[in-house]
Amino acid sequence: MLGHAWIPNRVGHLGSLVETFLPWTGLAVPPLLLCALVRRSATAAVAVVLPALTWCSLFGGMLLDKRADGGDLTVVTHNVDEHTPHPARTARALAASGADVLALEELGAATAAYERTLAGTYPYRVVRGTVGLWSRYPVDSSRTVDIAPWPRALRAVVRTPEGPVAVFVAHLLSVRFSATSGFTASARDAAARRLGTALRAEPLRRTVLVGDLNGTLDDRGLSAVTSRLRSAQAEAGAGFGLTWPASFPVARIDHILVRGVDPRASWTLPATGSDHLPVAARLRL
């Protein structure tokens, strides 16, 4: 838990793999305690306290309910899964969440279905490749953010009643795991560095990044992005807010990250049929 930063990434991105599931290291504590009790060893029991306290220090704060009232802007983001058989049903469920700004990733061939279903609730939209942004408020200054050989990220300015907000929607490249090559994340890491460059150049103080980053906040491969923004879930959530896979979430790889705004609440939404859960946050501008 304490030494994960020293695990090298040169072979199979082992460091990133460990950091992806770092909170789950706490599962080792109960078996260690059980072994100490079976052996009736006071020394072993005291030794178990060290990893327990370490885990609580690193992750205990995530278990607290930090949600509060207030906020001017509700944001929802969802990787909808390009193979979902019910895009219209997914769109209606997301619109019912009350989001002011809705971001979708992995649109694919169902883009037109989302546009038709969401048009009545969200009069403004921007779609770039496989990512899209729907808004109750006017959207301008939109462009593609170059992070991959095909469009997977966009930047737009949402003109809220409280002033302009720069909104980035991104779907970083997927990672894979195999016995021969290990955790293959080089393409994702390169996309994260490009996205980090765009965030660094963003002139607006109020900036929100939403989307499927295919990595957790602990993963060093995303440091170009996560070092510049704050997590709405970490500051205003309750629990870890795990999002993937939807059937039994083990990692939070879908994020709402901010700067220049104050997260008031963050939560996950019910499953839609995608392999990801939607995430939402209420922000004070």
pLDDT in tens, the chain (285 residues): 889 989 988 777 888 889 999 999 999 889 988 888 888 888 888 888 889 999 999 999 999 999 999 999 999 999 999 999 999 999 999 999 999 999 999 999 999 999 999 999 999 999 999 999 999 999 999 999 999 999 999 999 999 999 999 999 999 998 876 555 556 788 999 999 999 999 999 999 999 999 999 999 999 999 999 999 999 999 999 999 999 999 999 999 999 999 999 999 999 999 999 999 999 999 999
What does the buried/exposed string (b/e) look like for 262-276 if buried means 16 or more CB atoms within 10 Å of the residue's CB? bbbbbbbbeebebbb
Q: What is the pLDDT of residue 39?
A: 86
**Spatial separation of the C-alpha atoms in residues 223 and 8, rounded to whole Å:** 15
* Neighbouring residues of 142: CB distance < 8 A, sequence distance ≥ 6: 126, 128, 133, 154, 155, 156, 157
**Spatial separation of the C-alpha atoms in residues 107 and 87, rounded to whole Å:** 9
**Spatial separation of the C-alpha atoms in residues 178 and 7, rounded to whole Å:** 19
CA-to-CA dists, residue 272 to 14, 46, 76, 188, angstroms: 32, 45, 13, 25
Q: What is the pLDDT of residue 244?
A: 97
Kindly list the strands in the beta sheet with 207-212, ordered across the sheet, starting from the edge strand earlier in the chain.
139-144, 153-160, 163-171, 207-212, 254-259, 230-231
Tell me the domains of the chain and their CATH numbers: 4-63 (no CATH), 73-284 (3.60.10.10)
What residue has token string 């720069």?
Answer: 166
Paired tokens of 50:
């060290």
DSSP state of 179: T
For residues 227, 192, 173 and 144, what is the CA-based torsion angle, rounded to 10 degrees? 120
pTM of the model: 0.93
